[in-house]
């Protein structure tokens, strides 16, 4: 996989006068000294749904402890105690509120950290939640039922102040009924894998995730949904962006989606008092990720096909996004699950991005 510097081209590829970045393997470390994770709303764009962390900045392991899924209790002898039915139901509601859809296997991975026994606890809990009208299943991923909250389940979480405010968050039921359940399940797998292997705390950070987050700029008509956003700040950025392809998109379409992030990052807006010349500023830094020093890194995860085919798509994507001026890391889901390093296929270059997108539209 060191040979990811390829010569493939695509219609999504754009000219770039500067030398193109080479591909290198990189490992991501858990956040050490995070800044505040509060993200301001987009004052000038009603289509933007702000990413909001559950609380103010936290320090050490106590950050978010009150809203995280609790770790399984252990007895004095060091053995895990059997979770109570009410506790499993509450944890399942919180998890579905974060990731939107999940299978029993995925919920057991987080709630009980057990295999077959854990699944039986969760399965019974989901049957009870369905009877209460708080959760439902609308499709399957293979043989596994896909669960999601009902509007009543979302309201129960909101009434209990269990999660940070999430405007316009859907239940995911329509997507599952339409046949897009496997993609949503793969997004959940990506979230759980990244949280476990990089953040090293599936429960502690689960409430920092949001799915299907809209990014839009009305002036240009650009609008796209990010599959998942992690609001755990680093020293330079408030969030990390995640885009997953479950093997259903063409290579050109996948490349275009990645380039859309650069178009979003490159858009500039005018600011200045009346009667003054003013100046242009990045839209994202003024109205979306206001505490970030750099545009958030985009993580692209490839899934849904045999591993050798995923490797081919990774090579093609690497070639198609050469010259892009945002930070892009890519990996396949199987490699991510094995804890293998990411591939850096795009480097943040604000100076080159400014040349490519010099002026605000309509000024």
Mean residue pLDDT of the chain comes to: 79
Q: For the residues 317-339, what does the mean pLDDT come to?
A: 97
Tell me the three state secondary structure of residue 252: helix
User: CA nearest 292: which of 234, 348, 350?
Assistant: 234
The size of the chain, in residues, is: 363
Q: How far apart are CA 128 and CA 149, in angstroms?
A: 13
User: CA nearest 71: which of 91, 86, 89?
Assistant: 91
- The whole-number pLDDT of residue 83 equals 67
Q: For the residues 20-44, what does the mean pLDDT come to?
A: 50
The torsion angles phi and psi of 214, rounded to 5 degrees, stand at -80, 135
> What band does 276 get if pLDDT is binned at 50, 70 and 90?
low
Report residue 331 as tokens.
């990996």
> What band does 278 get if pLDDT is binned at 50, 70 and 90?
low
Q: Say if strands 279-282 and 298-302 run parallel, antiparallel, or are unpaired.
A: unpaired
Report residue 167 as tokens.
């405007």
User: Helices in the chain by DSSP H: which ranges?
Assistant: 85-99, 104-111, 116-131, 151-159, 173-175, 181-197, 251-266, 283-287, 307-320, 333-337, 350-356
240 within 8 A of 28, measured Cβ to Cβ: no
The torsion angles phi and psi of 11, rounded to 5 degrees, stand at -65, -20
Q: How far apart are CA 27 and CA 191, in angstroms?
A: 17
- The whole-number pLDDT of residue 115 equals 54
pLDDT in tens, 51-88: 333 322 333 333 333 344 555 554 444 555 556 888 89
Q: For the residues 244-265, what does the mean pLDDT come to?
A: 96
pTM over cut 0.95: no
Q: For the residues 149-157, what does the mean pLDDT come to?
A: 91
| Strand order from edge to edge, sheet including 144-149 | 101-102, 144-149, 135-141
Q: How far apart are CA 151 and CA 96, in angstroms?
A: 12
Residue 359 in this model has a pLDDT that exceeds 60: yes
Residue 2 in this model has a pLDDT that exceeds 60: no
Q: Which of 90-99, 156-165, 233-242, 347-356 has the lowest mean pLDDT?
A: 156-165
A 10 A CB-CB count for 73 gives 11
The torsion angles phi and psi of 245, rounded to 5 degrees, stand at -110, 120
* Residue 17 vs residues 10, 171, 263, 278, 332: alpha-carbon distances, Å: 17, 45, 17, 29, 30
Residue 47 in this model has a pLDDT that exceeds 70: no
* 58 or 290: which leads in pLDDT: 290
What is the Cβ-side half-sphere exposure of residue 223, based on CA atoms within 13 angstroms?
9
Q: How far apart are CA 348 and CA 352, in angstroms?
A: 9
């Amino acid at each position: 996989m060191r040979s990811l510097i390829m010569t493939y081209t695509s219609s999504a590829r754009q000219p770039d006068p500067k030398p193109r970045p080479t591909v290198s393997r990189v490992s991501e470390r858990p956040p050490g000294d995070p800044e505040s994770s509060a993200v301001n709303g987009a004052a000038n764009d009603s289509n933007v749904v702000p990413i909001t962390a559950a609380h103010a900045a936290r320090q050490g392991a106590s950050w978010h402890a009150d809203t995280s899924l609790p770790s399984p209790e252990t007895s004095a002898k060091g053995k895990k105690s059997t979770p109570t039915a009410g506790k499993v139901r509450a944890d399942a509601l919180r998890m579905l509120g974060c990731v939107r859809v999940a299978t029993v296997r995925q919920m057991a991975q987080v709630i009980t950290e057990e295999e077959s026994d854990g699944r039986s606890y969760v399965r019974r809990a989901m049957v009870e939640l369905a009877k209460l009208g708080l959760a439902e299943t609308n499709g399957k991923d293979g043989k596994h039922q896909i669960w999601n909250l009902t509007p009543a389940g979302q309201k129960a979480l909101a009434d209990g102040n269990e999660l940070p405010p999430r405007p316009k968050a859907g239940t995911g039921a329509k997507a599952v009924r339409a046949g897009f359940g496997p993609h949503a399940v793969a997004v959940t797998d990506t979230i759980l894998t990244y949280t476990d292997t990089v953040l090293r705390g599936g429960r502690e950070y689960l409430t920092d995730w949001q799915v299907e987050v809209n990014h839009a700029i009305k002036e240009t008509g650009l609008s796209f949904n990010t599959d998942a956003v992690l609001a755990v700040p680093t020293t330079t950025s408030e969030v990390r962006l995640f885009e997953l392809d479950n093997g259903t998109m063409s290579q050109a379409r996948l490349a275009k989606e990645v380039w859309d992030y650069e178009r979003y990052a490159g858009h500039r807006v005018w600011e200045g008092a009346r009667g003054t010349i003013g100046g242009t500023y990045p839209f994202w830094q003024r109205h979306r990720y206001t505490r970030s020093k750099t545009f958030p890194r985009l993580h692209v995860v490839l899934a849904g096909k045999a591993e050798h085919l995923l490797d081919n798509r990774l090579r093609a994507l690497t070639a198609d996004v050469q010259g892009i001026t945002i930070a892009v890391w890519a990996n396949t889901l199987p490699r991510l699950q094995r804890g293998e390093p990411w591939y850096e296929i795009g480097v943040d270059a604000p100076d080159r991005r400014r040349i490519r997108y010099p002026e605000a539209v309509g000024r």
